[in-house]
Amino acid sequence: MKKCSLILCEKKMSQKSKKSLSSAEIIFKPMFEILKTSVCKAGINDIFFLFEKEERTENLRNFILQNKASDIFIAEGTSPFISKETIEKSYENFLKNSRKITAVVSDFCNSFSAVWMTVEDLKKYCSFEKKEEILLEYIVKNSDVINEFTSYNDDDFLNAENLCDVQKFSEYKRKKILEKLMLSGVEIPCADGVVVSEDAEIASDVIIHPSTIIMGGNKISEGAEIGPFVRIRPGCVIGKNVRVGNFVELKNATVCADTKISHLSYVGDSFVGENVNIGCGCATVNFDGRNKNKTVISDGAFIGCGVNLVAPVKVGEDAFVAAGSTVTEDVPGNSLCIARSRQVNKAEWVTDKKPYKRMKK
């Protein structure tokens, strides 16, 4: 029998908000996307997200018609932690009980989080001509015969009623991710402000300092030291023994082994080779207003403080870029690049011009 899923996302963040509460993020992912991942892993790929009541008029009706001979899994988009295993096992229970409406119920409290039913049964409880909300509670309470599948996973029953709940869920998830990392050998001396995506791949013997944010499916190799106050956006690969220090931001960048980006720098859309030093206050200028352009910094290069690398540009192997330079052309290997105006000192200019408020004209 074909399977499909209906994820209910009509609940708003607040009475004044136009946004769906299920779109609120938990560690960089909207809640409905977290639930979608579990649903897909359970082998259900035909999913309808009900965000607005108006969708029932056309889109939802078409979805029901296309799946009229299907079994349907219904859950709220504000219950992000329903697991793949719970979805699979509750479906097995649903089949064993002759496809009677099956509610996923808790073993410790009078609560349920999801329902399995046939699409034909769903039609009995929902008039798709009207604009009433589809409520799990209504379906369960008004079913003549209800089958129960008991879940012993407490996370299946975490359902957000407001943004305060979302914040609590985020903190709960953040701690679980960090605990898993630390048990795998990642050193986090102080977890204050450390937020790591569940999709990130972080090797053992990596050190992560406070106020570090690691997003997306980034890869960080053993021996790397990250933070404090670092933001690593999606698309980054960080090699062995790399040092990414205070107030550094990386985005879509590959940084190879033994390179140091110690403080106050931005490296985006870049390839940085091995044993490179990037000084304080540097930036890869990757956006020209239309396109993102790439910067390549070859092995052994030294980038002085306050340097702008205006992409697309390449710095050659073992090249040296002087502090304060704005580089707009490729730098050959083993060469010194100086891209700044000559300093001019005008003697007694302050005495003559008296530019400060404290000086009398």
Using a pLDDT cut of 70, give the percent of the chain over it: 96
CA 265 to CA 280: how far, in whole Å? 6
Per-residue pLDDT at 129: 56
Q: Is the pTM of this model over 0.85?
A: yes
Per-residue pLDDT at 135: 73
* Active-site annotation holder among 263, 274, 276, 316: 263
Per-residue pLDDT at 110: 80
pLDDT band at 127 (very low <50, low <70, confident <90, very high): low
Mean pLDDT (the chain) is 93
Residue 257 in this model has a pLDDT that exceeds 60 = yes
CB under 8 Å to 211, separation ≥6 — which residues?
192, 193, 194, 227, 228, 229, 230
- 263 is an active site residue: yes
Per-residue pLDDT at 352: 92
Per-residue pLDDT at 285: 97
Q: Could you give the residue ranges of the DSSP H alpha helices within the chain?
A: 31-41, 59-66, 84-96, 119-125, 136-141, 163-183, 349-353
Mean pLDDT of 320-336: 97
How distant, in Å, are the alpha carbons of 44, 78, 272 from that of 218? 27, 27, 16
Residue 55 in this model has a pLDDT that exceeds 80 = no
Residue 329 in this model has a pLDDT that exceeds 70 = yes
Per-residue pLDDT at 136: 79
* Strand 213-214 versus strand 248-255 pairing type: unpaired
Which domains are delineated in the chain?
3-157 (3.90.550.10), 184-337 (2.160.10.10)
